[in-house]
Structure 1
Amino acid sequence: METAVPVDRTLTPPSVSVCMIAYNQENYVAQAIEGVLAQQGAIPTDLIIGEDCSTDATRAVCESYARRHPDRIRLLPSAANLGVMANFFRTLGHATGKYVAFCEGDDYWCDPDKLLKQVAWLESHPECGLVYSQVRWYFDSEQRFDRDWGGPESGETTLERLLEGNCIPTPSVVIRRDLLERYIEEVRPQERNWMMGDYPMWLYAAAHAEIRFINEPLAVYRILDESASHFRSFEKADRFCRSTLDIRRYFAGRYAPHLLPRLEENSLWERFGFAVHYRNAQAAFSLCDAVRRAGGRFDTQERRALRRRTRRMIWRHPILWLTRK
């Protein structure tokens, strides 16, 4: 595990473009903007806010900040709702800094030296393409902070590690813009049906550059009841899992084909876990069989618990045994 980096206040910093997408976040977006404006160390920043035709007061809040800080904030309002992915790539397309950082409208930065720490490392390590840190989880409905999250359990943040699971929190990232431009030109992610804009960027960065992890929370990741990666139904969770597997197939196929079988099995386990969690008996039964056919082993306490819970659900739905293929 890597440790925090010292702050070099003698750095003559290059510019950073901060991309923020916002939709119906009137209660949070001011805190997100303030976290960017509070950055110290004379880092030249331009904050680009892609406001996606919110139905609440989000746009009014963003307009107020843009009027007060016309030299630092560029507001991109939408005439109609574009959706998360289209708004993300539209906002990213306006980045002009040497580096690009991210902070969605419901997250915020909690360290005024965040950019200074990360830019200092990138400037002194040209082989490094991306710097990220831990984030502090905040459960909004319970109004409480939870554990710090982010980073590998041990060792470096490699492509193989990221293919097994994303450990890079979006609001913690600073990445080189030229690396992002190569990614968009080569991969053309805006033309793919992926449900995530950030995770593929991290995979591309790991395939082409070194990644640096700062082992301290520089941002707060707000967990809402339902968002792009938190769900209220098995169907939404399953779509997200399938899209994640599509992303992993693409990058593993290009850079690490030996990992493909393991990634396929891991995805089955992930979908199986969601089916059990949401008590979808039919899906759990089907995915339990799929795991078994794929050679999956129920050799851990967690996996055996999934099988037990599936069996209990099946006894309440005996018709599933009769329709089993």
Structure 2
Amino acid sequence: MTRPVISVCVATYNQVGLIERCLRSILEQEVVADVQVMVGDDASTDGTSEVLEKLAAENGSRLLHLRRARNMGAIANISDLLGRAQGDFIARVDGDDFWLPGKLSRQLEFFANHPECDAVYTNAITVDASGMRCGVFNDVGDEQIDLARLLRRGNFLNNSSVLFRAMDRPGWASSIEQIDYQVHLWQAQRGRLGHIGEPLTAYRLNSQGSMILSANAHVRELYWRAIQSVPRDLVTDDDYAHGITDFLRRVFFRSVRTRDPELLRTWGARVYAASPYRTGRTTALVVANIMRMMGKMLVGQLRGRDHRNVLYRR
């Protein structure tokens, strides 16, 4: 068997205190593959570029530092990296996240055992600004996920954990603004998604520049756009109805946390208008989603720290 090549695409901007840990966690992976790392440095001004120059000098051809002459923005930056990737497999990582030992080898093993899968994700630990562990990203085990399941349960996949076959690189290499969920849904249209339940990635909470913190309303619009991007002939009305009512469940909890009933009223009207079902059945689905999540949260409280501190429950 030919030794595979893995191209790792890392997008970064002004992450001087974080980028070295991210890159070393990639370069230190013990895996039977040639790992090539490409870093899109989006015209950083805080010393990130100097850190990258040092690491590039240390690692030679294994690390390519692409220093942008001007700020391109996150979508254009990662799209350019994907377009340059030459590996048999492609991974992408946000510059403030990092990998844990054994990640790539476990994913290649998964691909060898599951040729029907086009991408494989792993669970992640969540860490704070100092890198201290806080909990886990999701409550999903070792599974294969199809488009219908991903639509019905919403986003629970960690973007910095993905490894996918180069022939199925996402159709997101464009200037169109998208969120991670839309990319995951696109991948699921190409084939099944594998998920390794063991946390093999670290996801940094509340990082600087997080859209969830700085533009929560905009992210919500993009999430809704992601749901609408799924071709309706690929899923049933029931799949779609579960997807939009799960979305409204998320809005409900956000409305409660922020004490903003108008948020729920506004999105409730949009969800009910889009639902393929009548009001009563749509309401039953919304309530069922809320109760399901409350039950999961209660069980998590009883089972201990990692089960209690789950960022995304499915």
TM over 0.5: yes
TM-score, normalised via structure 2 length: 0.79
Are 2:160 and 1:171 aligned? yes
Q: Distance in 2 between matches of 1:301 and 1:165?
A: 11
Cα distance change, pair 154–176 in 1 and its aligned pair in 2 (3 A): closer
Q: Which amino acid aligns with 1:296?
A: T
Q: CA deviation at 1:299?
A: 4.1
Q: CA deviation at 1:132?
A: 1.7
Q: Which amino acid aligns with 2:121?
A: Y
Summarize the alignment of residues 226-265 of structure 1 with structure 2, pairs less than 5 Å apart: 227-232=209-214, 236-258=215-237, 259-265=239-245
The Cα RMSD (Å) is 2.8
Cα distance change, pair 225–106 in 1 and its aligned pair in 2 (3 A): closer
* Bigger Cα Rg: 1
Q: Distance in 1 between matches of 2:90 and 2:43?
A: 24
Match of 2:253 in 1: 273
Match of 2:174 in 1: 190
Q: CA deviation at 1:52?
A: 0.4
Q: 1:151–1:157: 8 Å Cα contact kept in structure 2?
A: no
SS at match of 1:201: helix
TM-score, normalised via structure 1 length: 0.76
Are 2:147 and 1:159 aligned? yes
Q: Which amino acid aligns with 1:245?
A: W
Are 2:109 and 1:120 aligned? yes
Q: Percent of aligned positions with the same letter in both sequences? A: 24
Cα distance change, pair 158–85 in 1 and its aligned pair in 2 (3 A): same
Q: 2:137–2:203: 8 Å Cα contact kept in structure 1?
A: no
Cα distance change, pair 38–155 in 1 and its aligned pair in 2 (3 A): closer
Q: Distance in 2 between matches of 1:131 and 1:301?
A: 26
Counterpart pick for 2:194 among 188, 212, 232: 212
Summarize the alignment of residues 51-70 of structure 1 with structure 2, pairs less than 5 Å apart: 51-70=41-60
Q: Distance in 2 between matches of 1:244 and 1:299?
A: 20
Counterpart pick for 2:39 among 30, 49, 62: 49
Q: CA deviation at 1:16?
A: 0.2
Q: Which amino acid aligns with 1:145?
A: R
Q: CA deviation at 1:201?
A: 3.2
Kindly provide the CA deviation profile for residues 176-195 of structure 1, in whole angstroms up to 9, marking residues without a partner as x.
01011xx43xxx6514332x
Q: 2:6–2:90: 8 Å Cα contact kept in structure 1?
A: yes
SS at match of 2:17: coil
Q: Distance in 2 between matches of 1:225 and 1:107?
A: 9
With 34-43 and 119-128 compared, the bigger mean Cα shift is at 119-128
Q: CA deviation at 1:117?
A: 1.9
- Listed as ranges, the gaps of 5+ residues in structure 1 are 1-10, 307-325
Q: 1:238–1:274: 8 Å Cα contact kept in structure 2?
A: no
Cα distance change, pair 65–245 in 1 and its aligned pair in 2 (3 A): same
Q: Distance in 1 between matches of 2:267 and 2:230?
A: 25
| Matched pairs, number | 282
Are 2:136 and 1:148 aligned? yes
Q: Distance in 2 between matches of 1:205 and 1:24?
A: 29
Are 2:1 and 1:14 aligned? no
Q: Which amino acid aligns with 2:219?
A: F
Cα distance change, pair 261–13 in 1 and its aligned pair in 2 (3 A): same
SS at match of 1:230: helix
Q: CA deviation at 1:153?
A: 6.3
Are 2:13 and 1:23 aligned? yes
Q: Distance in 2 between matches of 1:63 and 1:27?
A: 15
